Amino acid sequence: MRMLQMLVLPLLVSSLITGMAALDGRASGRMGMRAVIYYTTTTVIAVFIGIILVLIIHPGKGSRDEFIKQPKIEQINPADAFLDLIRNMFPPNIVEACTKQFKTQYAKRVVHVTMTVNDTIFTLNGSQVITREEMIPVPGSVNGVNALGLVVFSICFGLIIGSMREKGQPLKDFFDCLNEVIMRLVAIIMWYAPIGILFLIAGKIVEMDDIADMGGQLGMYTVTVICGLLVHAIIVLPTLYFLVTRKNPFVFIAGLLQALITALGTSSSSATLPITFKCLEENNKVDKRVTRFVLPVGATINMDGTALYEALAAIFIAQVNDYDLNFGQILTISITATAASIGAAGIPQAGLVTMVIVLTSVGLPTDDITLIIAVDWFLDRLRTTTNVLGDSIGAGIVEHLSRHELQKKDPELGNSVVEEAEKKPYQLIGQENECDTERSVNSETKM
């Protein structure tokens, strides 16, 4: 996993820049609009699947005593969380964005109040000054790649390079080569991936408490989440793919098997990104201009599994507390879960942090997130796999819808279009043409 995480940053930047540079503003705008519509549609569908299942199965029915309390979760204000999302989109320092994310933190402030009545000191408990503490938001940061900021920067950077045409060609060639190097490194790392995934999962199972001690409510909650993710991954996403492309979705999914297993092992959609690129481009033959744009954006903002899990978990916590939710509150949960999933980073257990926002929106106790921590490591892997599948199917759908624009663009781009070669993967057509011209010149000189 460490080797894959090492490649995420250069791959994210290089793939987005080359993908955007290969498209003109109008084509990338249309492609982006289609991708956003797809992301929004699938996320909303996932949220409603989660809500319907949790209301039908009702896993929170029973006594609250069977839960073992875990350590407290850090409190966060929903307004600050959404503002952090906007602040992270525009980092003040692009180098710092590679290692840190902006996050509002809370500090205690002691307020001293002196009260006077009729020009005399009003004393309370023998003191002339009333002292009270209050929590105030202060700017802070946490370690981790600010993927959202890098995505925004890379998209703008790539579009400008594309608009510069000949002047921007050297930069475009540089990022093309960087992308090719990263993909070749991924090919090497893939030889070690099965062993790494095996030990990642084995380590988590060893750390786990006795499964027999898991309460009936938590067991039913786990089953409900798994059912929701299976319905979304096996029925909804393949049906969407078939309706749009009229192709067999399961053949497409079979080509993604390596990426899905990696997502299951690493529990991180960002860490799985290099493998997802490789599977889509080599196995499913998806246009690299589409994957370079859709996948990095999708790994950052498209979280179908996380949205489903957050909506389901919020209603489960309400059921455990015997708290009846009305239609308006359920609608609030669905909207907040959709928005919060966009802000969830592509890292392990990021959904737990954004769960606080969903619970706060309907006045549920945020401390009760600790009730579901015992099984979160397992469910996190499953929802990450669903997220990666959603991103990949999105790339297939966007490519199909954008096929006419991509075909029109091919003759205009000429040698600058990056394509796959059968014997030489990840090589520029421009490089091949240069080799052909050199050979022809040499043959002419011999004649």
Question: pLDDT tens for residues 382-431?
Answer: 989 999 999 999 999 999 998 888 787 665 544 344 444 343 444 433 44
Across 210-223, average pLDDT: 71
Asked if residue 76 has pLDDT above 70, the reply is no
pLDDT at 387: 92
pLDDT at 42: 93
With pLDDT > 70 as the criterion, what percentage of the chain qualifies? 77
Dig out the tokens for 430 from the structure: 């421009």
pLDDT at 348: 52
pLDDT at 45: 93
